[in-house]
Amino acid sequence: MMPLDSDPDIRHDWTKEEAEGIFSLPFNDLILKAQALHRRFFEANRVQMSTLLSIKTGGCPEDCAYCPQSAEYDTGVKAEKLMAVDDVLKAAKEALDAGATRYCMGAAWRNPKDKDLDAICEMVEGVHALGLESCATLGMLTDAQALRLAKSGLDYYNHNLDTSAEFYGKIITTRTYRDRLETLDNVRHAGMKVCCGGIVGMGEGPEDRAGMLMALANLDPHPESVPVNMLVRVEGTPLGDGAGDDLDGLEFVRTVGAAKIMMPASVIRLSAGREQMTDEMQALCFLAGAGSIFTGDKLLTTGNPGSDRDKQLFERLGLSPAAPDARPN
């Protein structure tokens, strides 16, 4: 295969008009294009499985309007301390036995304190010793913190742009888009793989969905992993039930397909919101190029389909789990 940096399908110069043009394609054309590109880079019928664990839940000082873990909203999520390393590794072993190949540890922090990183690095080492890939999402990182995590062997760092630069201020006021890009830079320079995506269904317009994908696809290199989350409405958050119209399901599928067209060698993850989706809707997302899901009956604090339903889904669609870090074929 051609090296990714000379492949004409891998571009970092997307304009807003081009991104909007992809969203406006007839649905069948968008899906066909996305699926054809997906097959150029990945095995068509394999889906990678990651499992999440909230290692530090609730009490977060940030004000992300979608998030049940922000201390500003009364959502019933209790603030807890960082979990003990042994408990995290016990849960990782269970995820491994259930078929996950990557373990993602999430903390409701604005940023980790240097002293927290001792325990986090031990968790990363333990996750590797089990034979799992590791991922963490701990908020903003300094250069030095990113280097420390990379040295402990952390494979991926998740830090989302969440939405377009224009809509961002309506969702989060306690940290800027620029702050997020800076953390992504630090992660990249430290040599870790980048997991970066966003959420749709927050009341943004089509131009914001296109703008978010443009910002992601103009990162050079592209994030290796791109989570596309459908907003999970949590009571008590500003985006809870009744805060606006739900996004049309087909517009969500278009977002997955447009992400694949703009970042064809990246793994697009069908992330939050699967519990509320039908099998048919998820099938369309796989057809649009989603190559990864979160498995297990919980995301961080909200529900996820669980292994019985996912097993049935895979059987219905003839899908099988991908090997760890299934890179372009």
Active site residues: 60, 64, 67, 104, 135, 195, 269
Q: What is the number of other CB atoms lying within 10 angstroms of the CB of residue 206?
A: 14
Does position 272 interact with ligand SF4 (CB under 6 A)? The reply is: no
Stretch that binds ligand DTB, among 7-15, 204-212, 250-258, 298-306 (CB under 6 A): 298-306
Does position 160 interact with ligand SAM (CB under 6 A)? The reply is: yes
Does position 229 interact with ligand SAM (CB under 6 A)? The reply is: yes
Q: Which of 35, 142, 276, 302 binds ligand DTB (CB under 6 A)?
A: 302
Q: Is 31 helix (H, G, I), strand (E, B) or coil?
A: helix
> Are the C-beta atoms of residues 57 and 78 closer than 8 Å to each other?
yes
Smallest gap from residue 315 Cβ to ligand SAM (A) = 27
> For ligand DTB, which is the closer residue by CB, 33 or 102?
102
Does position 70 interact with ligand SF4 (CB under 6 A)? The reply is: yes
Q: Interface residues for ligand DTB in 31-90 (CB under 6 A)?
A: 52, 68
Q: Rounded to the nearest 5 degrees, what angle is found at the Cα of 163, between the Cα atoms of 159 and 164?
A: 120
Does position 266 interact with ligand DTB (CB under 6 A)? The reply is: no
Q: Interface residues for ligand SAM in 73-112 (CB under 6 A)?
A: 106, 108-109
Does position 163 interact with ligand SF4 (CB under 6 A)? The reply is: no
Q: What is the number of other CB atoms lying within 10 angstroms of the CB of residue 263?
A: 29
Beta bridge pairs of residue 54: 106
d(CA 281, CA 228): 14
> Are the C-beta atoms of residues 223 and 194 closer than 8 Å to each other?
yes
Smallest gap from residue 300 Cβ to ligand DTB (A) = 4
> For ligand SF4, which is the closer residue by CB, 70 or 183?
70
Residues contacting residue 117 through CB under 8 Å, at least 6 positions apart = 145, 148, 149
> Are the C-beta atoms of residues 207 and 199 closer than 8 Å to each other?
no
Both tokens assigned to 263: 């970042």
Per CB under 6 A, residues contacting ligand SAM are 66-67, 106, 108-109, 137, 139, 159-160, 162, 199, 229, 231-232, 234, 272, 300
